[in-house]
Chain A
Amino acid sequence: MKHLRELEDQSVYIFREAYKHFDNLAMLWSMGKDSTVLLWLARKAFFGHVPFPLLHVDTSYKIPAMIEYRDRLAREWRLNLVVGQNKEALAAGMNHTMGRDVCCTALKTMALKHLIESNGYTGIILGVRADEDSTRAKERYFSPRDKHGDWDFRDQPPELWNQFKTTFPPGTHIRIHPLLDWTEVNIWEYIKAENIPFIDLYLDKGDGTRYRSLGCAPCTTPVKSTAKTVDEIIEELRATNIAERSGRAQDAGRGMEMLRKKGYM
């Protein structure tokens, strides 16, 4: 438990720094386990309140149960939910068969950039974790993006003693990553410790499979698992050697590196 509280203390500190320094702040919420823990941590940091909007980039290909869950929590927790969608690309028939990178870039990266630009957000809070993939392992807690939303990983700002990059030239924005130090197991341990509501797609409901990572329906496949409770998930993850995002198609080859340089989450 002690290590979970350490993680929580650091995340809360990051949230409060973000809120203090950014007048136009927003947080991405994909309804997955990570961004829901992120949302919970925001309520920890601000004593039950979430004092900024939550952005959902809706590709229209999300699993329907996720949308129901989103709307329920938004109502119960009185969240300011902003949904963004690349309608033009969808109208033109964009889907994963046109190439996964093309589809991800159009429906996620472009939609996100449009949301950021049209609302003038200068700080975006995201639930990425360092252990998810090797480019995220190199992220900063406060990570600048240029005018085009691109990530210059070659020249990242120094981050010293919890002093973060909170000043930036006009036209650029900062991505804020409070969950960077959390692992997949930590997320589930915390969900259990705090009794956080989560989507049951993460559990095996009898067919011997469950989702380990949630994305768009066509590009996310369940993993073999008989974990029916959070405890069983934690047990399973402690023993497994299978990568968390092995069910996520866009991670193949150098997919994530290319996507993230261009502004993907």
Chain B
Amino acid sequence: MDQATAAAARAASKPDEHFNIVIVGHVDHGKSTLVGRLYADTGSLPEGKLEKVQAICRQQGKEFEYAFLFDAFLEEQEQGITIDTARTFFIWKGRQYIIIDAPGHKEFLKNMISGAARAEAALLVIDALEGVKEQSKKHGYLLSLLGVRQFAVVVNKMDLVGYRQDVFDGIEKEYREFLGQFGAIPERIIPVSAKLGDNIADRSRAMPWYGGPTVLDTLSLFKKESAAADQPLRFPVQDVYKFDARRIIAGRITAGRLKVGDQLVFCPSNKRANVKSIEAFNVEPLPMSAEAGQSIGVTLDEQIFVERGEIAAHPSDLPHVSTSFKANLFWLGKRPLERGRTYLLRVATKEVECEVAALHRIIDTTDLNQQQGGTVVSRNQVAELTIRTKTPIAFDLSSSFEATGRFVLVDEYDIAGGGIVTEMVPDDQESLREEARRRDFAWVKGEVSIEDRAKHYGHRSAVVLFTGGRHTGKSLLARKLEGRLIADGRHAYLLDGENLRRGLDADLSEEEKGLTAEMARRYGEVARLLIDTGLIVVSTTNPFGLAYREASQAIRTLVHPAPVIAVHVSKTAEEPPPNTDVIVNGPVDLDVAIKQVMDALKQRGVLDETLGAKPTFQYSI
């Protein structure tokens, strides 16, 4: 393509859309060369750039390569490999492309993944002389896992195999078979020589047997996907702002659309409110609706307490809620992923502690062989596993929703893995959770809201739950705590299970009273009522004897989303139930124990003077 034609094509196109393309493939198969050539042939390089890099090459006595245009670091040029992804830009026929050149060396897989994760389409480069290699396969598999469904395969260095069609056909057959194993289908396969410019911007005269589009034409043929707006609504809460009179729920819509007046359900808390306004800066008049992709802020008609991490949806189509799901995950961590270790899980804006409950198999991405069992996933491996979270979270399957169906795991300070949710695993709280959801949806409210009560009382409602075996001093502690809270001017009530047995539970036979599930359900529903009165409910698992673990879990599910401060009391050190906040063992020092519980209440934001480091911007009670 001559410079004048290229310049005309660029000038004629005022871009009104962006398109992210990632270039992937095995090391040395010519990805950076392809990008360099694409820019040179479309006249997209700044003036003097080519000459500057050519001059550096002459100075260093080495042959110029197009790859040097984007391999910015000295180390990259010296070793002739790309270390990290570069974002480069060019405009062609009404589109502004961001080309992400990903490294092909296996050392830098995490950089390749970072590049591919933000791409809308990919070009996967294979060297005609070397054929399909390890990273060609791994990258092909990861594109599929990362959700990049549009891609084309570029068979490069055709000049080195004499532009022979049989070589090209062999690679095409082999690679299509590999991709077929996980259902990936390339849009097209293109024979090129990036170095010599065959089929990059101009059609190659050396390969008359190829009738398909050039690489440049292929880019234009990739489609902009905008289907997310037509899906059911998913609006993960990113933050809640109170900079001025407005209390704004901020976030980015990841699927569907919302409009003023819509009823939103926040999951997993099941709180509901209607959209009063969509707020915006320097927009006149304010928008009445918003859709997938937009970063927005809404105000609600009721002052409900919602937190970052909840997903707002329309009542007709809610996300899953559970503490467990199955997933496919790739691991990039410096140390292996292990069962039993705690990681931080992030799904959309939710962050929660989790662990690997089961490791089903490890997938070798070069031959797709499956290795059963195993207890660790090493760096750059892909595994199928079940994750269990500390508290229930809202999520979707990645087959239905992209953004809320994928997650990352954080190990210590680093994002160490990414995965897609393949299956929701119902946990043992499923039926109680459903009961709570149905009950909360139909809850009849008075004129006084729970937030009004919180403001009036100077604290939010909460449950302090003492767990432990018999004769450990739970009751005494609970009594002392109730007394202390009242003395401090709080509104607290000791809910003793004995008082339920003879009244509310009078309809049950002695045998039925021995069934933990039903007794816990009743206790939990009473606690839920007291929560609605704005009280801090102090309770013990005394009525449930040694079944306190099961009972405390049921109570948690039924009072959700009220904060539960769990205190485990034991005579000797023992494993407390999950999510215990305070552990008291050995001889009980009442004053110390009470102080620990009070600190936990403050830390959880139950008591009013405890708001965080940015008090003016938090939800204020």
Contact = CB atoms under 8 A, between A and B. Distances in A.
A243 B325 CA distance: 50
Interface in A146-178: 153-154, 156-163, 165, 167-169
Given A134-B72, A161-B403, A46 B84 contact: no
A254 B71 CA distance: 12
Contacts of B241: 46-47
B406 A158 contact: no
A194 B282 contact: yes
A138 interface: yes
A10 B43 CA distance: 29
B295 A137 contact: no
Given A16-B250, A165-B415, A131 B114 contact: no
A259 B497 CA distance: 68
B238 interface: yes
Given A9-B294, A134-B70, A20 B413 contact: no
A163 B83 CA distance: 21
A6 interface: yes
Interface in A1-24: 1-3, 5-10, 12-13, 16-17, 19-20, 23
Contact of A2 (B17, B49, B85): B17
Interface string B419-461: 0000000000000000000000000000000000000000000
B418 interface: yes
Contacts, number: 170
A131 B89 contact: yes
Contacts of A167: 344, 410, 412-414
Given A47-B297, A180-B87, A135 B72 contact: yes
A154 B83 contact: yes
A118 interface: no
A13 B238 CA distance: 9
A224 B293 CA distance: 40
A162 to B, nearest CB: 8
Given A2-B17, A180-B87, A156 B418 contact: no
B98 A181 contact: yes
Contacts of A238: 10-11, 14, 91
B349 to A, nearest CB: 8
A186 B17 CA distance: 11
Nearest to A253: B56
Interface string A175-195: 000001101001000000010
Given A161-B418, A163-B415, A169-B413, A137 B11 contact: no
Interface in B451-476: none
A47 B87 contact: no
B89 A160 contact: no
Interface in B261-283: 279-282
B57 interface: no
Contacts of A159: 114, 117-118, 415
Contacts of A242: 46-48
Interface in B382-406: 403, 406
Nearest to B418: A160
A44 B282 contact: yes
Contact of B252 (A13, A47, A135, A181): A13
Given A49-B244, A161-B403, A131 B84 contact: no
Given A138-B72, A243-B46, A163 B346 contact: yes
B86 interface: yes
Interface string A222-259: 00000000000000001111110010000000100100
Interface string B597-621: 0000000000000000110010000
Interface string B76-94: 0000000111111101000
B111 interface: yes
A45 interface: yes
B239 interface: yes
6 contacts: A6-B18, A9-B295, A16-B295, A158-B113, A159-B117, A243-B46
Interface of B: 7, 10-11, 14-18, 43, 45-49, 70, 72-75, 83-89, 91, 96, 98, 110-111, 113-114, 117-118, 238-239, 241, 243-244, 246, 248, 250, 252, 279-282, 293-295, 297, 308, 332, 344, 346, 403, 406, 408, 410, 412-415, 418, 613-614, 617
Given A239-B7, A241-B43, 5 more contacts: A20-B308, A137-B70, A161-B118, A167-B344, A168-B413
Ranked nearest first, the 6 interchain pairs of A and B with the lowest CB-CB distance are: A134-B72, A130-B87, A12-B295, A241-B47, A243-B46, A137-B86
